[in-house]
Amino acid sequence: MLVFMILIMRGEGQLRENFYAASCPNAETIVRQAVVTKMSLTATAPGTLRLFFHDCFVEGCDASIMIASPNNDAEKDASDNLSVAGDGFDTVAKAKQAVEAICPGVVSCADILAIAARDVVTLSGGPKFNVELGRRDGLVSTASRVKGNLPEANFNLDQLKSMFSNHNLSLVDLVALSGAHTIGFSHCEFFANRLYSFSPPSPIDPSLDPTYAQELIKLCPKNVDPTFVVGLDSQTSRTFDNLYYKGLVAGKGLLTSDAVLLKDPATNATVTDFANNPLNFNTAFATAMIKLGRVGVKTGNEGEIRRNCASFNT
């Protein structure tokens, strides 16, 4: 009974589908329309999905990443979050405004972010799945808490596995969630070491497909514009599909943290399975997203329902 009560107090036990059926029955429809509108104007899918990951891995899924600080010391101001596209923040803000107009003070920013993350996946060609809701917005957002809590581009599998397992995410979840890179982009600095300084005898990482490596060198010369980005999926970077995994198998994993998924025997079979079976990938991704959405959720007095996602109520 004590363990059960602790789980309830931590919030996971209170998340459920159709949480707002009585209090704001059109919440998900309103969010989806805001996402559709935003996607018609700009490529917001990668930024919105990444925003959800970065939020949940630090402080839990509580929209703490949305807070804007006048002193630039909130979670979003940490160096690891500066590359998160502003379109994602704007998508959630627009959706929140639309929901507030119909159901003021009812739906949390954390839930809106979770719904929007699901919707950008579906609208990009990915799987449909139901989102568990009932989160409250966090009361803490500090830049200093970010470092060491987000996966890095040069992580090996042990580092990735440790970070994901800290959030009760399995190896299959890790490989599946990495598939979000099918609609992701990376700045050149995060993989330049694989092109110019991999090792003294081999400046280019030999695990990279040679033709692909030369394409990357042309796209990312040593003095490239730091704002330039390259698709993590070399074939369909705006469509949610399993070609990211086909790229890994073909030696076209852009980041070290991508490439290790194929190299390591612990994850190789799952990568190969997802490359050959898109349905298996979609199913695993949906399951992993639901599990990710349960990380560190706040309920009751642990959080609040923000009126504005960028600022605390008090």
Q: Is 272 helix (H, G, I), strand (E, B) or coil?
A: helix
Flag whether 202 is marked binding.
no
Residue 311 pairs with which residues in a beta bridge? 308
User: What would the DSSP string read from start to end of 63-103?
Assistant: SGGG---TTS-SGGGSGGGTTS-HHHHHHHHHHHHHHHHHS
Is 37 annotated as a binding-site member?
Answer: no
54 as an active site residue: the answer is yes
Tell me the HSE value of 155 on the side-chain side, using a 13 A CA sphere: 19
Neighbours of 106 (CB within 10 A): 14
Contact between 95 and 36 (Cβ < 8 Å): no
CA atoms 127, 170, 183, 66: torsion sign: positive
- The amino acid that residue 62 corresponds to is D
Q: Partners of 176 in the beta sheet?
A: none
Please tell me whether 241 is known to bind a ligand.
Answer: yes
Residue at token pair 């852009």: 254
58 annotated as a binding-site residue = yes
203 annotated as a binding-site residue:
no
Tell me how many helices (H) and strands (E) the chain has.
13, 2
Which one of 54, 96, 194, 252 is the catalytic residue? 54
Residue 104 marked in a binding site = no
Q: Extract the annotated binding site for heme b.
A: 181
Q: Extract the annotated binding site.
A: 55, 58, 60, 62, 64, 75, 151, 181-182, 233, 236, 241
Any idea which residues carry the catalytic annotation?
A: 54
Q: Extract the annotated binding site for substrate.
A: 151
